[in-house]
């Protein structure tokens, strides 16, 4: 028996000696850093939908192309204002659509509110309710920052497959009742009350983009309530996560750092404060902490991690050309 065990052990030793040594799996090549820039247009009129993987502009449209964004899934029921136009809304708490007139705008300046950018739950209209109260909508400003005017709007029907709304001028003229289908491929459907139809060229499929470069309304609550148009970056909140890193050099960040910093799905997790405005000089500079430019760790819609930092907001002396560098981790 002992001889058999010794013989079996010798055979195993011989076989193991014949096997090839295991080689470590080589680290995937994450590629070189990418630097890119684009034009936000006159008065920041362009909205740009961008995908990190491939360095692609997926879609571009004018901020004036749409007024309302409808959450587009089967159970979608949120409605957003186009805050890039500095839009506001006020609930009249009345359901008689034809009864709403210019008289209902008395006190509108004190009751109107704008969407806040962090989450869809912070929108003024909020949930699409069937046969809702009538809202008075301030359509904001055009691309030359001139006021557009007011509409009255009512949400009539929301099903698993479609939305139905009605709207008109405050005197009842230019009345429209519009019905349109939902599309699960998009986070939102964008609707224009000026053109009376869905703007299919606005936005991108929900899995196709990571970042939206756009103007939007931010609310400063201190020292007093102040809605203000800013130029910044909103993330695809359904697929993208972001963490802002202060005081650590961009070059020093590695994949291991993705475990150290909590990631956020807030739409304005990148926001507008990657640049700082100097009121004395009238010039933007890139925000830094202890002379180190702030960096953002981004988990994209495909699950890749990136580090990103902004480099500039100008081309020559012309503002509105964000320039940034990013690299896969």
Residues 249 and 147 in one domain: no
Domain ends where: 156, 177, 198? 198
Instruction: Please say whether the beta carbons of 230 and 219 come within 8 A.
Output: no
The verdict on 75 and 154 lying in the same domain is yes
| Model pLDDT for residues 53-68, shown as the tens digit of each residue | 999 999 999 999 999 9
Q: Which two tokens stand for residue 284?
A: 């933007």
Where among 165, 198, 231 does a domain terminate?
A: 198
Q: Is 227 inside any structural domain?
A: yes
Looking at the fold, whether 78 and 190 belong to one and the same domain comes out as yes
Two tokens, residue 277:
């405005």
Query: Per-residue pLDDT averaged across 285-294, rounded?
Result: 94
Q: Give the total number of structural domains in the chain.
A: 2
Does residue 38 register a pLDDT over 80?
Answer: yes
- Domain interval for residue 113: 67-198
Q: What is the pLDDT of residues 136-145, one digit of tens each?
A: 999 999 988 8
Residue 283 has pLDDT above 50, yes or no: yes
89 vs 111: CA distance, rounded Å:
8
**Is the per-residue pLDDT at 76 higher than 90?**
no
In what helix (H) or strand (E) does residue 7 lie, and over which residues does it extend? helix 2-18
User: How many percent of the chain have pLDDT more than 90?
Assistant: 78
User: Quick check: is 223 in a domain?
Assistant: yes
In a shared domain, residues 213 and 310: yes
Residues 181 and 214 in one domain: no
Report the pLDDT averaged over residues 236-241.
Answer: 93
Asked if residue 190 is part of any domain, the answer here is yes
Q: Is residue 153 part of a domain?
A: yes
Which pLDDT does position 5 carry in this prediction? 40
* Residue owning tokens 């224009």: 192
DSSP structure string for 201-250 = TSS--TTT-SEEEEEEEEEE-SSS-EEEEEEEEEE-TTT-EEEEE-SS-G
Q: What is the dihedral of CA 232, 35, 54, 69, to 10 degrees?
A: 10
Last residue of a domain, one of 198, 224, 244: 198
Is 80 exceeded by the pLDDT of residue 14?
A: no
pLDDT-derived band at 117, boundaries 50, 70, 90: confident
Q: Do 44 and 96 share a domain, yes or no?
A: no
Do both 319 and 249 map to the same domain? yes
């Amino acid at each position: 028996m002992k001889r058999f065990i010794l013989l079996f052990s010798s055979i195993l030793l011989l076989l193991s000696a014949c096997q090839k040594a295991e080689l470590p799996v080589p680290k995937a090549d994450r590629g070189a850093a990418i630097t890119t820039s684009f034009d936000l247009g006159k008065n920041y009129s362009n909205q740009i939908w961008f995908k990190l993987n491939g360095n692609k502009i997926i879609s571009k449209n004018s901020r004036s192309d749409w007024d309302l964004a409808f959450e587009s899934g089967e159970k979608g029921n949120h409605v957003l204002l186009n805050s890039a136009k500095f839009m506001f809304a006020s609930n009249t708490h009345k359901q008689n659509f034809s009864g709403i007139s210019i008289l209902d705008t008395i006190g509108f300046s004190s009751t109107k509110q704008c969407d806040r950018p962090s989450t869809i739950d912070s929108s003024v209209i909020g949930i699409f309710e069937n046969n809702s109260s009538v809202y008075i909508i301030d359509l904001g400003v055009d691309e030359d920052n001139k006021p557009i005017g007011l509409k009255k709007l009512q949400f009539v029907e929301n099903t698993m497959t479609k939305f139905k709304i009605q709207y008109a001028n405050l005197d009842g003229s230019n009345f429209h009742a519009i019905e349109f289908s939902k599309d699960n491929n998009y986070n939102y459907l964008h609707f224009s009350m000026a053109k009376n139809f869905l703007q299919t060229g606005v936005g991108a499929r929900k899995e196709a983009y990571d970042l939206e470069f756009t103007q939007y309304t931010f609310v400063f609550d201190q020292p007093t309530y102040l809605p203000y148009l800013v130029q910044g970056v909103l993330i695809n909140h359904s697929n993208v996560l972001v963490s802002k890193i202060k005081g650590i050099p961009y070059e020093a960040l590695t994949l291991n750092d993705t475990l150290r910093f909590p990631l956020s799905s807030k739409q304005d997790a990148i926001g507008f404060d990657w640049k700082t405005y100097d009121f004395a000089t009238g010039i933007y500079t890139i925000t830094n902490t202890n002379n180190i430019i702030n960096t953002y760790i981004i988990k994209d819609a495909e699950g890749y991690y990136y580090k990103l930092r902004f480099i500039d907001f100008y081309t020559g002396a012309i503002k509105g050309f964000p320039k940034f560098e990013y690299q896969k981790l």
